[in-house]
Amino acid sequence: MFRKVRVPPRTAVLWLVAAALGIALALVPFDDLALVAGTGLVVVLALVHPVLAVGMAVLSVPVQDLVALPGGLSVTQAAVLLMIGSWLVHTLAQAEQGALPFGMVAAWGALFCALLLSAGATPYSRTEALRETLRWVVAASVWMVAASTITRRWHIIYLLVCLVTAPAVCAGIGLVQFVTGDGPPTFRIAPDLPYVRAYGTIGQPNSFAGYLNMAWPLALALAVAGVAHAWRMRALQRLTAAGVWLPTVALWGASGVVLAALIASFSRGAWIGAAIGALAMALSLGRRAVPAVLGLITAGVAAVATGALPEALTARLVSIWQSLAWFDAATVAVTPANFAVVERMAHLQAGWEMVRAAPLLGVGPGNYAVAYPSFAVGAWYAGRGHAHNYYLHMAAEAGMIGLLAYLLLIGVVVQQTVCALRRVTDPVLRSTAVGGCGIIAAVAGHNLFENLHVLNFGIQLAVMWAIMGAIAQRPARFQPSICDTSLQAAPVSSAAI
């Protein structure tokens, strides 16, 4: 029997190599083996297509500070570098690339010109100015790679999954923190309650809530569209549980978790931003949907007025009016009850004084904290790093030129989102555009009280902007094929919502 079995030399060598490799892997510690294998898998997937690397960059945002990599790199920095490398490889290989919209390219260029001009003229730290400019370069790089590589429908679907999954997981962690009271004493909602403000993996409740405002409109719009699509397919007897209901249930679960965590963050600015985002989504659906949103807001106000909500939540909502009032922080007696409001006003006043001192070019990008002691109001000498209003913050750091450049960028984003709403007919893409409207408005409203262009949140926004641009430019390319009957349906109407 052994004489009849003939093993080719090449096969024998391969078996010997495999055996040697197996023995070597058995001797390596499991943790190191898992790290090497995981890293290799990530690199291989990133090199398969740049859009996969873009999704990895989005997924890395919640864990950017949880894992320390060699060389001092964060997970997000490594993901961005891998994304750029994959894009360069595919570009050199002359892979199919999408055309970049001229309006967005011009807006990005105007913003960088304003930031560099302010950085060159700053009397403070040019190192901080370049660091802040580099943060915007990262966001622009992610947008460029995403906008040039989104050429197929599955690219958009994959990125949508990443844009919803990462915030949903982070929101789940925040809800656990809220329920168990796992957080610093300063995050406690009330002295007699065991709950703390949710902060997820972000570290700060307000920034955490800002991150969630970049996700819940998209998840909710897709979930509602999933129900409408499932109902139509049921009428046509084409409904399959795995193909329609499972993604819809997952989207409803993600949107519920994110919205619950947004409430648990107790961030007043985020709540105002969320209300503005909901109103923008209603306007994007048509006039018939506006009364429904206004009715929900009215019901919320009535619940606060009648005391139907928990006392801690009611007190937080009532205090919103105090945050909107203008006063001189230097003349107010500080108490534990008004400390946060007075501190916010002190930073707003310091930012306004910076604008008055350097109205055109500002004190330099990233130099708000550096210049703050020179413009501090009263006894508020300890700065928080931002003016608690991003528009004022941008004017203080980059002057009116920088603020106008930033508003131009946001204006172009709004224009391409409106164009996407008008041109698209596919329910998934239309729901994506509706969610994009909600995200843009929620972030714009929340930026009145916070700086959301931190902690690499720009990656989340840049990918959403790139998707909106791709839909607005080439809507027909991303429509489902005629043979794909499971995805063919009429666009979602405001009546169905």
Q: Which of 457, 405, 436 is nearest to 283 (CA)?
A: 436
Q: What is the pLDDT of residue 413?
A: 95
List the beta bridge partners of residue 196.
188
DSSP string, 142-199: HHHHHHHH--SHHHHHHHHHHHHHHHHHHHHHHHHHHHHT-S-GGGBS-TT---B---
- Residue pair 146/462 in contact (Cβ under 8 Å)? The answer is yes
Q: What is the pLDDT of residue 443?
A: 94
7 part of a folded domain: no
176 part of a folded domain: yes
Distance CA 341, CA 369 (A): 19
209 part of a folded domain: yes
Q: What is the pLDDT of residue 65?
A: 78
211 part of a folded domain: yes
- Residue pair 386/368 in contact (Cβ under 8 Å)? The answer is yes
pLDDT in single tens digits along all 497 residues of the chain? 445 556 567 777 777 888 877 776 677 676 655 666 667 777 788 788 889 999 999 999 998 877 777 777 888 988 999 999 999 888 887 655 667 888 999 999 999 999 999 999 999 999 999 999 999 999 999 999 999 999 888 899 999 999 999 999 999 999 999 999 888 888 888 777 788 999 999 988 999 999 999 999 999 999 988 887 777 766 555 555 445 678 888 999 999 999 999 999 988 889 989 989 988 998 888 776 667 777 777 776 676 666 666 666 666 665 665 566 667 777 777 777 677 778 888 888 889 999 999 999 999 999 998 998 888 887 777 777 788 889 999 999 999 999 999 999 999 999 999 998 888 888 889 899 999 999 999 999 999 988 899 888 999 999 999 999 989 887 666 666 433 433 344 444 444 43
- Strands (E) located in 194-270: none
Cα distances (Å, whole numbers) of residue 413 to 101, 164, 232, 451: 11, 20, 32, 18
Distance CA 86, CA 141 (A): 13
Distance CA 144, CA 54 (A): 10
Q: What is the pLDDT of residue 321?
A: 58
Q: Is 227 helix (H, G, I), strand (E, B) or coil?
A: helix
DSSP string, 387-446: -SSHHHHHHHHHHHHHHHHHHHHHHHHHHHHHHHHHH--SHHHHHHHHHHHHHHHHHHHH
Distance CA 44, CA 473 (A): 30
The amino acid that residue 295 corresponds to is G
- Residue pair 358/399 in contact (Cβ under 8 Å)? The answer is yes
Alpha carbon 406 to chain centroid, angstroms: 17
289 part of a folded domain: yes
Distance CA 11, CA 9 (A): 5
Distance CA 44, CA 60 (A): 17
The amino acid that residue 412 corresponds to is V
59 part of a folded domain: no
List the beta bridge partners of residue 188.
196
Alpha carbon 130 to chain centroid, angstroms: 23
The amino acid that residue 315 corresponds to is A
Q: What is the pLDDT of residue 494?
A: 40
Distance CA 104, CA 151 (A): 18
Q: What is the pLDDT of residue 476?
A: 62
Q: Which two tokens stand for residue 260?
A: 């619950």
163 part of a folded domain: yes
- Residue pair 390/450 in contact (Cβ under 8 Å)? The answer is yes
91 part of a folded domain: no
Please tell me the total count of domains within the chain: 1
Q: Which two tokens stand for residue 336?
A: 């534990």
Give, as one character, the DSSP assignment of residue 385. S
Distance CA 105, CA 325 (A): 38
Quote the Cα angle for 284-288-292, to 5°. Answer: 90
Mention every residue, 6+ apart, whose C-beta is less than 8 A from residue 379: 330
> What is the span of the domain harbouring residue 196?
104-478
- Strands (E) located in 23-175: none
Q: Which two tokens stand for residue 394?
A: 């941008």
Beta-carbon-side half-sphere exposure of residue 341 (alpha carbons within 13 Å): 20
Q: What is the pLDDT of residue 159?
A: 95
User: How much is the pTM?
Assistant: 0.84
